[in-house]
Amino acid sequence: MSGRQEERRPGAGRVRPEGQPEGKRVTATASEHVPGQGPAAGPGGRASWSLLFDYVRPYWRVLLAGGALSLISSLAGLAMPLLAKSVVDAFGRDQSLAGPVLALTAAVVLGAGIGALGRYILERMGEGIVFSARRSLVGRMMRLRVSEVDRLKPGDLLSRVTSDTTLLRAVFTDGIVESVSSLFMLVGAIVMMAIMDGVLLLVTLAVLVVVGGLVGLVMPRIQRASLKAQEAVGEMGAVLDRVLQAFRTVKASGAEEREIASVGAAAREARDRGVAVAWLSSIVGISAWVSAQLAFVAVLGVGGARVASGAMEVSALIAFLLYLFFLVAPVGQLVSGFTQVQGGLAAVKRIREIEDLPAEETAGPVPAPGTAPAGVTFESVGFRYGDDRPMVHHDVSFAVPAGGMTALVGPSGAGKSTVFALLERFYEQQSGTITFDGRDIRHWPLAELRAAVGYVEQDAPVLDGSLRENLLFAAPDVPEEEVRRVLALTRLEDLVARLPEGLDTKVGHRGVLLSGGERQRVAIARALLRRPRLLLLDEATSQLDAVNELRLREVIAEVARETTVLVIAHRLSTVTGADRIVVMEAGRVRAVGTHDELLDGDDLYRELAATQFLLPT
């Protein structure tokens, strides 16, 4: 492996662009927002409630149906105290109990059945909302600009897709609908209590008003605490992802205990944030319970006195107390529902932070790529990774003619990998012009541009799945004979013959079952199957032994007869036969020529060749 600057940041799972300082993140401009660094306003400054209901709008009919069934179930519940009163009255008058008891039983069974159906409808709707939110969020993430994703933590992104979206289901099933149903039941119970005895109602409301005031004070704090708790969970995921991405390095470094402590500290922070939410929620919940008990004691005392004075019947007091018991559940559900909603509002803010980040242009239908090699030209290109970062390219100019092989060489930090990042339009240059096939790359449809360019990264990522799936990742419709041709070209036939299930063998997470050189050749084969007009090779031979390096040099030379090859190399032996070599230093082009011309005319190239024993004897 070379000592070039594009080393991996621990746990980031990404290659740090050349020229971007390690350990620092690109600072957002004034118009951008970095998730987790303060609240982001919704689109057009819309309130969180509006953003929340964006998710339920496609399901509004289902929401109404489920809500209606819940209300009917509540009505059945409101009828029970009156039916219980009729049972007591019939008993006191020596009348038949069959009718009242049957009516009470029917109300219980019917209410429970309708309530269960409504609950099922709402739960199913909740799953649909979660599915839609996750699909939308993942789709947005896949279309984010590379510059945006470089600022984010993978673990936190996973938390937003999993934990935060799950909260949306609870908001609409346990939160909003249950709260509306509970509110209806609460109002209905209060109306019935007012009809039965206004004095006892006033006693009840006096106690409940205290709870309402407490809830109003605590709920905003619950939302803030919920947001911090969800951020803490995301940070814990980011720390754990960091460890898993560098798992072998952690093992080899004997750093298990330190990393366990690091993840444990993040988990402790998430626990503390969750405890804060639980504490506030418990304050509201216990207050609701205490208020209901106090209301029961007060009503029992005042109501008992009224029964003793003859102002009220015993059956009416029993029905009133039953309605009071009915208030306990709705009040508790309202408190729980409000808490769920606060968590949902915090979740939707975190989700919208991602959805509001700048994305690449929407990919349209990709035309069939051309077959002719494409040339590339850099004209006075200037680039930096952020407004507060130093310049990586200073007035860079060079040309890559169509066909043949051109090499980029130079010391670490010269800006070589940034050339590839700009050609793929992962980033946009601040000045100058880059043309592809004689056309400014900013005028190319992004999907069409990338379809014409094959890119092999230095660390040659291989995805979990079969070898065939990895080879066909960029070109899923390639015929079998083309796959066989490319396998022969990249010397992978022996590997396929050795694998137990051939091309259908699973290669493991990040291709762990393959050697470094095999992963690199798989990445090259994957790029070649796309029939690119320009092939970008970033240190293509860095993980190959001398024999396989020689073979791959032959492969590259053969490919260069069909397409344009632009290769970054620190092993000059790889590119001594290149048609032209561009020497870069400190973000500038200092010389262009063949190997022999540069040995004679450029001191830096001669020094690089001398360190690799390539000077003629």
- The 3-state secondary structure of 402-436 reads CCEEEEEECCCCCCHHHHHHHHCCCCCCCEEEEEE
Active-site residues: which are they? 539
Reported as a single tens digit per residue, the pLDDT across 243-254 is: 766 666 666 667
Mean pLDDT throughout 68-83? 77
Q: Please give the average per-residue pLDDT across 447-457, as a whole number.
A: 87
List the domain boundaries for the chain. Answer: 43-355, 373-452+556-617, 455-531
CA-to-CA distance for 386 and 389, rounded, in angstroms? 5
How sure is the predictor about 219, in pLDDT bands with cuts at 50, 70 and 90?
low
- Could you report the per-residue pLDDT of 256-289, keeping only the tens digit for each? 787 788 878 888 888 888 888 778 777 776 776 7
What is the per-residue burial (b if ≥16 Cβ within 10 Å, else e) of 185-216?
bbebbbebbeebbeebbebbeebbeebeebbe
Cα–Cα distance, 106 to 110 (Å, whole number) = 6
Average pLDDT value for residue range 314-326? 78
**pLDDT exceeds cutoff 70 at 1:** no
What band does 351 get if pLDDT is binned at 50, 70 and 90? confident
CATH architecture for segment(s) 455-531: 3-Layer(aba) Sandwich (3.40)
45 CB-near residues (< 8 Å, 6+ apart): none
- Of the candidates 349, 371, 9, 305, which has an alpha carbon nearest to the alpha carbon of residue 167? 349
Mean pLDDT, rounded, of the chain: 77
**pLDDT of 613 above 90:** no
> Burial of 388 by CB count in 10 Å (0-12 exposed, 13-18 middle, 19+ buried)?
exposed
Q: Are strands 439-440 and 431-436 parallel, antiparallel or unpaired?
A: antiparallel
* pLDDT above 90 as % of the chain: 10
Query: Per DSSP, what are the bridge partners of residue 8?
Result: 15
Which class is domain 43-355? mainly alpha
Q: One fold for both 43-355 and 455-531? A: no
Query: What's the rounded mean pLDDT across residues 80-101?
Result: 74
pTM above 0.75, yes or no: no
Could you name the CATH architecture of 373-452+556-617?
A: 3-Layer(aba) Sandwich (3.40)
In angstroms, the Cα distances linking 295 to 306, 308, 330, 351, 447 are: 16, 20, 14, 42, 67
Q: At what angle do helices 480-489 and 546-560 cross, to 10 degrees?
A: 130
pLDDT tens sequence across 464-520: 788 888 888 888 888 888 889 888 888 888 888 888 888 888 887 777 778 777 888
Question: What integer pLDDT is reported at residue 554 of this predicted model?
Answer: 79
